[in-house]
Structure 1
Amino acid sequence: MPVAMVVIPWDFGAVITIYRAFMRGLSLPIMILEMLVAILAIQQIAHPAQKLRNLTLKYKLGIVSLVLIALYTSIFVAIEPYLSIISLYMWIIHILFGFGVFLIFMEVNAIDRRMVWKTILLGLFTYIVILIFVVVQNLDNVNFDWIGGLPGMPNVRQLGYLSVVGFAASTAFIDQPHRSSVYILGFFTASISLALAIWSGTRGSLIAVFAALSLSALFKKELRTSHFGGWLMASLIVGIAIAWALAIPHEAFGFGRIIGSIHENYDTVNKLSSGRGEMWAGTINKILERPIFGYGERQFQFIVPEAQGGFKQPHNFILQYLLQWGFVGAGIFFYLIFQSILHLYRKTNRFFDIGQPELLIISSILFYSLYDGALFAPYSIAMLIFAFAFALAAPTQPAPAPAADR
């Protein structure tokens, strides 16, 4: 996916064409890939409509209700209705993508699940090679936009989403120390993923990774071993060393930015949160003005003064969905998320049978979305949906045989 975000809009050079701005601004390459997966599932899998009809009534009613609320707010409320309608179509594609991933992996009886994560890491590191090329080429370019001009990234902070996914995918290989090449691959990719977050000055992704590890360790004993602790500390040290050795092209990058953003702004919550406190307060005020159905999708920058005309979401997914769908729509959306997590909890034996990468992606992106746009950016939404669908499609572990009476 990250490579497609660069290649499809051909996101190179200083000239920003209308096509390039439109494609990268809405992350449409992600939607194209998701749609292709959905079409592939429909074409290759027998009776996909019948499988979709197996959805429970609460899911069907919830999805239809959200679509109707989104249509109503887009037509009658939204200041920029075309953005709201585009976002609705994007959500429909996200849902179809999730079904497609689930159906495809349900049909594949025998699959090396590690190969899936290797493929994701290959795409991520191909993107990093492209990123390195662009950075090296522009190190001396005083006019280069380091915040919004990196290939495929509307904002440099979105590199954090790639870092989170890359680290999570790397954990698929840590339980094979007897296979040195595979084990080294996991260590190397984890270190690079952490280095990407540190080099780009994205503290949010580091917080999300370690919060997800803490939560996931409650369910995965592999994450509570001294072996994993040593692997994690070593990968973090190597990641810091790599980031420290790389050229820092802008003051918004690097380990110094992460430390400075905490040390220099500790005196008030709003400064420490990079202005989030004011945005959240402004968003709450607007939510209370239209509490039932909200304002429509992607309207934040037009209706919340604290957005300063630039931010497209309030950096908190709860406020984001309350603003766009009101308490009715957001309540339905949160209920569907809760039911999905509950279903996954039961399907995977209380998360004990879920793969480490899937669990880490789900927990890190959900945690990340509490203080960032992880449930606004199409890439992180797509990876969250992929992790859910991939986990649900995994073969069910047979229940242990009951002990014989003694």
Structure 2
Amino acid sequence: MKLFLILIFFIFYFFGLFNNNPEYSSMGAIFLFLSILTVSGLILFEKKIYYDKKINFIMLVSIVYPLFFSIYYYLNFDTLNDKYFYLLFQLAVIYFIFNLGCQLSAYKRYISYIIFLFMTFLVSLSFLFGKASIVGKENIYASILLILLAFVISSDLKKIIKILSIILVGFGIFFSDARSSLVAFSVMLLLYFFSKYIIKFKRILLFSVIAFSLFWISYIVHLYETGKGDSYNLLIYELTGKQLYSGREKMWGQFIDSIKDNPMLGYGLGVDYGSIANIEYSTHNLYLAILIQQGIVGLFLFIYLVYYLYIKSIKNYSNPSRNFIFLIIPVILLQQNFELSLTQNNLSIMVIFWFLIGIHSFSNKTDPSV
């Protein structure tokens, strides 16, 4: 029954990706909800619940922290609104789906086969639905492909399947024209093929990615505000046909100025970006979003959670090239310089990312006969 529920989850989740496509969003939302509901049934068949006390504590603090300060945000910034509670709900979904994944460590191989078929169908349908396949949005499509690829190549499937997966995802990301995911794809391959050398510098790698990400934000703003980036922008455009600037550089500067006014606690999950910068929807940057909404305290909690997951997984797996978390964490943190999907804005990415992270958080169970 558990194997059947896992399969149904991925089938429902596959159709749930239509949620990102404006033409089919209502249907997709239903299937996405059904996918979460289906996998929730796994708890009924568990004799023993697997969980990590420290990870759960950090996650619960990350939920309680913005809830505890909700009155403060309301009184000072009037940000206690529907958006505030919806984003809090998304944090709760992350906590829930991660712990569900923790129960399925023994089924990694079975799940890897399903994901390989999943990727094959997803990329193949791009010939019918366009370069973003059924997802409809190139950046979301490419991000999901990255997450799925990392899981397959970190599995114990045959080498030919892994090679086919790399070619398949490389094709999908290249033709999706998602630049941030293409860079992330290249970094993932470097981590995979040179893992035995890079693993020696695991902490340096992780904190270098985080430091680079925080530096990148201020550096792009500096180039824009001083005019020093105009020549770089022109050069990159002549070489690649793409611009260095994308409109983010202006609004990021406005966000940084706002963060300086309330750096520790931020303005709350429901803060109106339009009141800070000339934008209504998103910062297009995970780090900026956390700093604006939850301040330095919130960013510290997020980094500590990621660090603990990253280091714990490396200790549990003797072969780093077979470690999903080692492959995906630096890659996805790098990509989130241009996206905002790990903790909010896109349930499709959040659900699959934290679900698979949960699956790889335990390594002490043996793969059952399937």
TM-score, normalization by structure 2: 0.70
Q: 2:134 aligns with which of 121, 145, 151?
A: 151
The yes-or-no answer on 1:359 pairing with 2:326 is: yes
Report how many residues are paired.
321
Aligned residue for 1:336, secondary structure, equals helix
Q: Distance in 1 between matches of 2:17 and 2:97?
A: 21
Q: Following TM superposition, by how much is the alpha carbon of 1:159 offset from its aligned partner in structure 2, in angstroms?
A: 1.8
Q: Following TM superposition, by how much is the alpha carbon of 1:325 offset from its aligned partner in structure 2, in angstroms?
A: 0.9
- Partner residue, 2:312: 343
Tell me which amino acid in the other structure corresponds to 1:114: R
Q: Following TM superposition, by how much is the alpha carbon of 1:321 offset from its aligned partner in structure 2, in angstroms?
A: 0.6
Query: After superposition, where does 1:192-207 map in structure 2 within 5 Å?
Result: 192-207=168-183
Q: Distance in 1 between matches of 2:179 and 2:234?
A: 9
Q: Following TM superposition, by how much is the alpha carbon of 1:393 offset from its aligned partner in structure 2, in angstroms?
A: 1.5
The yes-or-no answer on 1:318 pairing with 2:287 is: yes
Q: Distance in 1 between matches of 2:138 and 2:69?
A: 29
Q: Following TM superposition, by how much is the alpha carbon of 1:11 offset from its aligned partner in structure 2, in angstroms?
A: 6.2
Q: Deviations 1:196-244 (Å, cap 9, x if unpaired)? A: 1111111211111222333455543699xxxxxxxxxxxxxxxxxxxxx
The yes-or-no answer on 1:288 pairing with 2:260 is: yes
Q: 1:378 aligns with which of 331, 347, 352?
A: 347
Q: Following TM superposition, by how much is the alpha carbon of 1:354 offset from its aligned partner in structure 2, in angstroms?
A: 6.2
Unaligned 5+ segments in structure 1 are 136-145, 177-181, 224-259, 398-406
In the alignment, is the contact (CA less than 8 A) between 1:98 and 1:389 conserved in 2?
yes
In the alignment, is the contact (CA less than 8 A) between 1:102 and 1:392 conserved in 2?
yes
Unaligned 5+ segments in structure 2 are 1-8, 200-232
Q: Distance in 2 between matches of 1:127 and 1:73?
A: 45
Tell me which amino acid in the other structure corresponds to 1:68: L
Q: Following TM superposition, by how much is the alpha carbon of 1:133 offset from its aligned partner in structure 2, in angstroms?
A: 2.4
- Structure with higher Rg: it is 1
In the alignment, is the contact (CA less than 8 A) between 2:79 and 2:271 conserved in 1?
yes
Query: After superposition, where does 1:158-197 map in structure 2 within 5 Å?
Result: 158-172=140-154, 182-197=158-173
Q: Deviations 1:138-167 (Å, cap 9, x if unpaired)? A: xxxxxxxx99xx6334x3222221331343
Distance 1:74 1:131, change over 3 A: farther
Distance 1:73 1:275, change over 3 A: farther
Query: After superposition, where does 1:6-405 map in structure 2 within 5 Å?
Result: 7-8=15-16, 20=25, 29-30=31-32, 32-37=34-39, 39-46=40-47, 48=49, 52=51, 54-55=53-54, 59=58, 62-69=61-68, 71-72=70-71, 77=77, 79=79, 81-105=81-105, 108=106, 111=107, 113-135=108-130, 151-153=134-136, 155-172=137-154, 182-216=158-192, 219-220=195-196, 263-264=236-237, 271-297=243-269, 299=271, 301-307=273-279, 309=280, 312-348=281-317, 352-353=319-320, 355-375=322-342, 376=344, 377-395=346-364
Distance 1:14 1:330, change over 3 A: closer
Q: Distance in 1 between matches of 2:20 and 2:306?
A: 37
TM-score, normalization by structure 1: 0.65
Aligned residue for 1:392, secondary structure, equals coil
Distance 1:40 1:215, change over 3 A: same
Q: Distance in 2 between matches of 1:294 and 1:78?
A: 13
RMSD over aligned CA atoms reads: 4.0
Q: Distance in 1 between matches of 2:17 and 2:183?
A: 31
Aligned residue for 2:360, secondary structure, equals helix
Tell me which amino acid in the other structure corresponds to 1:360: L
Name the one with the larger helix percent: 2
Q: Distance in 1 between matches of 2:285 and 2:151?
A: 25
Q: Following TM superposition, by how much is the alpha carbon of 1:55 offset from its aligned partner in structure 2, in angstroms?
A: 4.3
Distance 1:32 1:361, change over 3 A: farther
